[in-house]
Structure 1
């Protein structure tokens, strides 16, 4: 019989967990600058925002033209310069507001790794980690710095985001870990060997920023349009300069003013700024709903999504579960009290239990008389966990806890009873006694079923409404889960998901991509899906031309989130999912997704509307310049006239229309959809305006004739532009009607107020030509309306 005192001494001599660095050692490393000081950039810097909004190609063009007007005068012909300043200022202010929102949300959503110092585990911001710190790891944790494993308990790390290798790597003490990888199973701790910019992931992401403008059809389309405009503008401007100098040879200042008036409206300068403002305000609006947009185009991308893949756990159901029943199986040779003790010991063997195991721990607390000698942590790929246990009476055994249809062979009688429970939406785990050691690859072979643990999942109260929203918006919802297919189908059916009554077991999915895509399009609920299958399913849907969004919160969702067009992570999910997702729902509410979709549709639909306004102006400006060059007549407008027209028919209304509600589903081919309306509208407006101008030139003569001709042409162009605005503002609401009416009233005020008449050089002379101008504008508007409708039927979006 051993001596108790000697036993106590031996146990005290056993090495315990490493205490980590001391406070003094941390202070020393901080003084040496050995700190993980990589800046977390969730948005562009203030300087970058100012540069992006001020130093643009079109601001440079407008700036030069403004300086020319300052030289030749008068100042009212340089009003377009002040408009550019105002628009640029609005863009900067709104983006700075968005930056503030984005940065604050990024801080809220930033996870804090657990660092062991003086033997005490403490969550710390990543920027406070120093060289040599001991960082604890558990399922879902991301390695924030490079290091070397010191402790490992079934530690499996996924390095796919760095190496492309999808299979998790089992780590042992002494193995290297790279920043950017994440834990998929087990736990442990590692010592930081490289921090700050020396870490592997930091070197890869040195120039990366979350505030990106890539993969955006809207941005790409606008850039393409502006490129076309530039190529049209250069030769037209050259021809206009030459013609005006020839026509106005006795007054070179007047020629320069008319030349500038012809060039300025060709530049759709407000379109880029308005797009930035719309995106920025979208970020602010979503930020108020605790939605972190890590990449701005994600707002647009989710609006284009036609398939959304949902992970059941944490998305349709809440994270917590409750044990509703424990059924000891006949012939197991055990009784319920013994099974409860085994379950308690299994729960105690895992330092980082998942939701299912936590429910078991809550229902069956651990007994101090049981000891775990080996453990196999849960893995979503295996779908079971295990432990080698020793009981108080000296009995030892290896136990497995996991999915019944994985632990048992097909056709086992126990599975029939489980199917009935799954059909009720209940989750069932099997406790089985293994016939092999945990490290045996065939540990599940011959497992003897002992008991069933019945779990009930908590449905999210808002999940049903969200699914109905997607159905109304023609967005297909696919529930993809690692759980039993029948159980998942029952949960989805409770929420009213169409097709949930016919769930598909992913183990029977065809491996060939085309066949898999066909099954995915037909079905809506898929169970027993492995992490690699989730990735394959996303790729199969994308191969059919679908824009796919993937939601999830667990490490098993990371690969699919990364490959999906839009990845959406829950704020309470693992850090790995938040790192690869474009959108993070910090409030963990699936019901926030409709707000993101609606915001994206608002941005895309409204920018498409206002882009038509801007480009109509560009088209009629180019046409007028060409006609003026060919006819060798003075350009009909001064810069102040077009500034007035642009403000009333484009600038002010575009700002309100860009921020208005818009639930229209996002459609592809942005450039084609904008140009199919703006080109004919611009040609009709330019042709009718030039016709009214030529008619006025034949009607008026003598001093002041040019001013009268300009006024008639301005009236014509204003009325036609107002009709374009009236078309763009449809469908009408009270505020849209007020907006259009207010713009018309503004022009009337200018025509009726003497000092404004003088300021804008506008005065209608007589009644014949003004009414003729109204008639030409009315006829052009009728042609415009008919053309608009014909284009809509002939070239549907």
Structure 2
């Protein structure tokens, strides 16, 4: 079927204005990112800020302003969180506008590309291969129009659409061309929900976030009993006055709250979005950053990914006689001119053969990935087809063997021939009489080799899957150092288990159909692989959707960009290593940060429990109950350089270590024993130094200082262990943190303001000794844990360049 000679007219400007005024436009939110006001509210009114705020008010009632310094965390958490998320929002929104799929809308003033939200009811929207249907509508023109609705209905096969048929937003055009009238726009159309889901700024549904939530639940279980016990014992058993009791109670409760864990996680994700945005990489779903860090197989399309998307005709080789008087140049020019939405191959033909002879088309057959050919029947000039030689020809023919020899040089080869039946005949193309081999040249991307070397060094395997001839695909793979013979996908087994075995044996695959790309992704996943799929065409959409991470090229089809989690707007395959690097930075650094915060919570809870239990035992037997060792100012300065500042630096620093599953187990097996050691050592040091509740203020400050010294030595060694494997800057970070405390304890003004007293050298020396023993125990735990988990412990990084 051909397009009607009289096209459906578009709306006038007045009709468009009237529909906009009546609210009949496709005015849906372009992105579902939070507004600036929502970001501010979400970062200020948090559960952690509420807890710290209440504790701050309690401390202020005692009149001890210096002990309220932990309240600065409320301001810091809120400002840092707001700034980073607003930056990420601005980056995402700008990139979304650049990468937005814009439909071709026909109006009486002419056909123009418009943002989806400017489409109005009754607009005529033109369609071509790879275009996504942006609103629901009714087909008014069709030329062999086929639409894939599998993302909506699960129907695997493309559906032919005739005039009068309904098209659903969210589906996409597989082949052919046409136009449809918008019948449902805005919130009534399925596209509104699809667009919101596809581009949501979200931190959910990721292993990292789920792991953080599990850790927070674990912390909650610890906080409730420890908090209640602390409140009771410090307020009702110590009898030292309400001000001192309140300060000790708050000093116990504040470090239990993991005030920076969620913040650091959010910052790491947001900074990742900004960094990738600077490389023209649009992250449509934030967990994709972390997902790529776990990828161990990358399925890469050849055309447009490993090679440049553009092509040029390098040669036309005659291979037979058609028996007619038409010239090859006229046939090629006519075929190129007849394609309303040409792909890269037809664009190359049109650029070379642009002098059309004026042949009259009587039937057309658009290119389909499943059939690998297209064609046009002309009045008085025959049925011309162009497509894959190994599909259209007998493999044993001279023309087929010649095409294979040319393809072995990494060139794309198309067969131009004449069919025995019209191209719209059910048995088309019929018997093919070869006329010529059209040789197209594609250049391998200059950065493709370096990118593949990066993946090889990171133990990430690459599978090249392409619709091109297997010999040509193999030749390109050989140039890129992937080696090995390419397999013809027509020989791939259908059974998932057998298919997975074939995938283990071959690296490159040619003549892959769209459904096979999807099956390849499923087969790899069935073997436990985390699969990333890259592509730019409509034939990649299903595989992009089902892969763990879908990566689309910015110049690709609107449908491929819509379903992918990551869009490379600069169309550079070489951007992928940077995406992988950001994912590894986020996961690896958040794991370190989580270790620090959870260790603090564990030792704080343990210390509170030990003090509380001692109080419960002491009261019945008439012994003085213990005061909690620290006032709020003590735990505040303890957190500055053992957790707060180092965690911020570690969360944003480079990190190329590969991510592995088991985030929660690794964090708990580190933080819990570390926290137990720190808490036990701190309690022991306090017991040694404690002089009873009737001791002088100086003696009480000396006991608190001794406990703090032990805690700092042990906590600094936890930082030293968590920072491994060392690079020069990590060593500098640990040394600077330790030096900061030396300065604090050395300055008289700091000792006075922070209620520190090191004048009792015996007590101070014992505290240092217990701290050193605790550090040695933490070191031993680190080595034992590595052996138990079967992990090779690494003290120094092999790469000291960063």
TM-score, normalising length: structure 2:
0.94
Give the whole-Å Cα distance in 2 for the aligned partners of 1:187 and 1:505: 30
Q: Confirm whether residue 764 of structure 1 aligns to residue 754 of structure 2.
A: no
Change (3 A) 1:205 1:414: closer
The one of 552, 567, 570 aligned to 2:535: 552
Whole-angstrom distance in 1 between the partners of 2:481 and 2:5: 56
Give ranges in structure 2 of 5+ residues lacking alignment: 616-625, 792-802
Cα distance in 1 between the residues matched to 2:260 and 2:362: 69
Matches for 1:384-783 after TM superposition, within 5 Å: 384-390=373-379, 395-497=380-482, 500-632=483-615, 633-697=626-690, 702-704=695-697, 705-783=699-777
2:211 is aligned, of 196, 201, 221, to: 221
**Structure 1 match to 2:276:** 286
- Residue 120 of structure 2 is aligned to residue 135 of structure 1: no
Change (3 A) 1:730 1:379: same
Question: Do residues 85 (structure 1) and 75 (structure 2) align?
Answer: yes
The corresponding residue for 1:364 is 353
Deviates more, 1:462-471 or 1:21-30: 21-30
Are residue 44 (structure 1) and residue 34 (structure 2) matched? yes
User: 1:81 and 1:184, CA in 2 relative to 1: closer, same or farther beyond 3 A?
Assistant: same
State the alpha-carbon separation in 1 of the partners of residues 274 and 5 from structure 2. 53
The worse-fitting range, judged by mean Cα deviation, of 325-334 and 161-170 is 325-334
1:207 CA drift (Å) = 7.2
Say if 1:660 and 1:550 are closer, same or farther in 2 by CA, change over 3 A. same
Q: Distance in 2 between matches of 1:255 and 1:104?
A: 53
The range that moved more, 364-373 or 266-275, is 364-373
1:348-359 to structure 2, matched below 5 A, reads 348-359=337-348
Cα 1:796/1:65, change in 2 over 3 Å: farther
**How far apart, in 1, do the equivalents of 2:267 and 2:716 lie?**
24
TM-score normalised by length of structure 1: 0.95
**SS of equivalent residue, structure 1 residue 442:** coil
Q: In the aligned structure 2, how far is the partner of 1:454 from the partner of 1:199?
A: 45
Deviation, structure 1 residue 211: 1.0
Cα deviation digits, residues 700-742 of structure 1 (max 9, x gap)? 9841221110011111111111111122223334433332233
Q: Do the aligned residues in 2 keep the contact of 1:490 with 1:501 (CA within 8 Å)?
A: no
Determine if contact 1:433/1:447 at 8 Å carries over to the other structure.
yes
The offset of 1:205, in angstroms, is: 6.0
SS at match of 1:318: coil
- Structure 1 residues 15, 612: closer, same or farther in 2, change over 3 A? closer
Provide the residue aligned with 2:622 in structure 1: none
Alignment of 1:192-207 (within 5 A): 192-202=182-192
- Quote the residue 2:328 is aligned against: 339
Alignment check: 8 A CA contact 2:43 2:77 kept? no
What's the CA shift for 1:780? 1.3
Structure 1 gaps, min length 5: 1-13
| More divergent stretch after superposition (187-196 vs 306-315) | 187-196
Q: Report the CA distance shift for 1:205/1:312 in structure 2 as closer, same or farther (over 3 A).
A: closer
Native 8 Å contact 2:128 2:175 kept in 1: yes
Distance (whole Å) between structure 2 residues aligned to residue 203 and residue 770 of structure 1 = 64
8 A Cα contact 2:140 2:179, kept in partner: yes
What is the DSSP-based 3-state SS (H/G/I as helix, E as strand, rest coil) of the residue aligned with 2:366?
A: strand
CA shift, 1:158, in A, is 1.1
More deviation, 206-215/408-417 = 206-215
Contact 1:19 1:119 in 2 (8 A): no
**1:42–1:106 Cα contact (<8 Å) kept:** no
1:230 to 217, 220, 226: 220
The alpha carbon displacement at 1:197 in A equals 1.4
CA shift, 1:384, in A, is 0.6
More deviation, 424-433/593-602: 424-433
Q: Can you list the C-alpha shifts for 1:279-326, whole angstroms capped at 9, x where unaligned?
A: 111111110110001111111000100001001110001111111221
SS of the residue aligned with 1:569?
A: strand
- Shift of residue 239, structure 1, vs aligned partner: 1.1
Relative distance call for 1:610 and 1:796 in structure 2 (3 A) is farther
1:156 to 137, 146, 159: 146
Give SS of 2:576's match: helix
Which residue number corresponds to residue 177 of structure 2? 187
On the 8 A contact 1:305/1:549 being kept in 2, the answer is: yes
* 1:167-217 Cα deviation digits (max 9, x unpaired): 111111111111111111111111111111121332566677521223311
Give me the whole-angstrom Cα distance separating, in 2, the residues matched to 1:760 and 1:653.
21
Q: Distance in 1 between matches of 2:5 and 2:199?
A: 44
Look up the SS of the partner of 1:368 in the other structure: coil
For the structure 1 residues 203 and 767, does the alpha-carbon distance in structure 2 shift closer, same or farther, using more than 3 Å as the test? closer
- Residue 690 of structure 2 aligns to a residue whose secondary structure is helix
**Any conservation in 2 of the 1:345–1:371 contact (CA below 8 Å)?**
no
- 1:502-557 deviation per Cα after TM superposition (whole angstroms, max 9, x unaligned): 11111111111011111112211011111011111101100111000000000000
Change (3 A) 1:352 1:206: closer
Could you tell me how far 1:343 is from its partner in structure 2? 1.3
Going from structure 1 to structure 2, the CA distance change for 1:517 and 1:51 (only over 3 Å counts) comes to: farther
Helix, strand or coil for the counterpart of 1:375? strand
Counterpart-to-counterpart distance in 2, 1:753 and 1:586: 54
CA deviation after TM superposition for structure 1 residue 119, in Å: 5.4
Residues 68 and 731 of structure 1, relative CA distance in 2, 3 Å threshold: same
Aligned 8 A contact 2:136 2:189 in 1: yes
> Judging changes above 3 Å, is the alpha-carbon distance between structure 1 residues 207 and 101 closer, same or farther for their aligned structure 2 residues?
closer
- Residue number among 80, 101, 106 corresponding to 2:96 in the alignment: 106
Instruction: Describe the superposition over 1:327-351 as per-residue Cα deviations: whole angstroms up to 9, x where unpaired.
Output: 221354357x612211111111111
| 1:147 equivalent in structure 2 | 137
In 1: Cα distance, 2:198 partner to 2:558 partner: 18
Measured in 1, the distance between the counterparts of 2:595 and 2:56 equals 25
The number of aligned residues is: 777
Moved more, 613-622 or 199-208: 199-208
What CA deviation, in whole Å up to 9, does each residue of 1:687-711 have, x standing for no partner?
Answer: 1111111111269984122111001
Change (3 A) 1:297 1:504: same
Shift of 1:396: 3.2
CA deviation vs aligned residue, 1:57-103 (integer Å, no higher than 9, x gap):
32222222222212234122222221132122101111101101110
- Could you tell which deviates more after superposition, 34-43 or 14-23? 14-23
Instruction: Single out whichever of 671-680 and 243-252 deviates more from structure 2.
Output: 243-252
Equivalent residues of 2:423, 2:429 under 8 A apart: no
Contact 1:381 1:531 in 2 (8 A): yes
1: CA distance between counterparts of 2:515 and 2:540? 9
2:272 counterpart of 1:274? no
Q: The residue matched to 1:116 in structure 2 has which SS?
A: strand
SS at match of 1:269: coil
